Amino acid sequence: MADNKAILKAGDAEIELPILSGVAGNDVIDVRALGSSGYFTYDPGFMATGSCESSITFIDGAKGVLLHRGYSIEELARDADYLEVCYMLLHDKTPNSEEYKEFKDTITRHTLVHDQVNNFFRGFRRDAHPMAMLCGTVGAMSSFYHDDLDISDPEQRLRSAYRLVAKMPTMVAMCYKYNIGQPFVYPRNDLTYAENFLNMMFSVPAEDYKITPAVSRAVDRIFTLHADHEQNASTSTVRLAGSSGANPYACIAAGVASLWGPAHGGANEACLTMLQEIGSVDRIPEFIAKAKDKADPFRLMGFGHRVYKNHDPRATVMRESCHEVLSELNIDDPLLNVAMELEKIALSDPYFAEKKLFPNVDFYSGIILKAIGIPTNMFTCIFALARTVGWVSHWHEMLSQPGQKIGRPRQLYTGEEQRKYNPIKK
């Protein structure tokens, strides 16, 4: 809603720009009229630019609030499972018992991938990075559903969304199995979403994999806590790709590629790398001192967050699961001992409280994944698995909105003015 207007003075002209108010969050200035007056805005990193209108997720970083469709992430992570959150993100409402059962059955019965997908993996080197394989195989899925890719049809869009949510755990597990030289494990319809993923990751033909409740609950929470996070880099990439009319599998492959960047999806992997650098509990004071020294390039990974200026609301719930898993598995791992001691210091040292450098969701999820035996090069794949539902929800929402246009950012040109070309023969 346009409540009032901002007056922009540009040269001798005054340009009226509507100020729009959403349900929550900051007001935004509608700058679309600037183009017809010969001006564009300049905002590298889109730090002060709203790129779309969305009703899916709301973040208040100053207060440490994260809402999906109006529901707090803390409540969802404690009282709902991942598939219930998936339904809610896709359909803008929580499911009743019948809707939930139907949705769960649909997802469960679509977890199997086409047998020819196996052939794609054989084209990769054995030591290929899992994210490289995931990018390729997700994009290739469009070749199996080319008769069901009409993005103007809401039903076809939802079918594509369901397929992606269902098949992503299978393909992520295939990336892992291919890396370690073990046979692919087919999904099982008698297991929950999280249990099925764990079974495809760790079971082998010679013996069954025993799934403990604490581990499956923790993995389900990791999925829930990473399901969506508003207009981040990968979600914006999916929306931009989708604005061109690209098919959903190409758009999600673009999201996977964006997430692969260490500044985005590699945060929990970077946290484990930092713990390996510290190495042992007795070296923690040395690294705490380095972290406090502004002249030292060392930074504590997994502490603080670009968006949240207070506690990361996801971290509180993830911390509970982290301690449950470590207690259940009773692992004596020097790296996990370093993590727990580092957490204790960070929560008691006044320096961390003053700087608001609290452990974030990546700190705890990295520890959990390490504890259950998932290698660090798989962490970002699991992030992509969880975030797929957020990506397809934003893609579906964008294509449902009237007047949608292809994304076309402007630039501030700093190159040469027009000049004469001299042919190379001269």
Task: Kindly list the catalytic residues.
Answer: 305, 362
In 3D space, the residue among 169, 211, 172, 207 whose CA is nearest the CA of residue 325 turns out to be 211
- Per the CB < 8 A criterion, the answer to whether 406 and 193 are in contact is no
- Per the CB < 8 A criterion, the answer to whether 19 and 6 are in contact is yes
Helix (H) or strand (E) holding 25: none
Within its chain, how far is the Cα of 15 from the centroid? Answer: 38
Amino acid at 202: F
**Residues in a beta bridge with 126:** none
Q: Residue 208 burial (CB < 10 Å; 0-12/13-18/19+)? A: exposed
Alpha-carbon distances of 424 from 416, 417, 421, rounded to whole Å = 19, 20, 9
Within its chain, how far is the Cα of 237 from the centroid? Answer: 12
- As a whole number of angstroms, the distance between CA 357 and CA 354 comes to 8
- Per the CB < 8 A criterion, the answer to whether 362 and 302 are in contact is yes
Amino acid at 265: G
Would you give the DSSP letter of residue 38? T
- Transcribe 213-234 into DSSP letters: HHHHHHHHHHHHHTS--SS-HH
Would you give the DSSP letter of residue 208? P
Residues 6 or more apart whose CB falls under 8 angstroms from that of 312 comprise 64, 305, 358, 359, 360, 361
**Residues in a beta bridge with 28:** 20
- Take residue 338 and report the two structure tokens written for it: 């370093």
Three-state DSSP class for 356?
coil
Would you give the DSSP letter of residue 422? P
- Per the CB < 8 A criterion, the answer to whether 313 and 358 are in contact is no
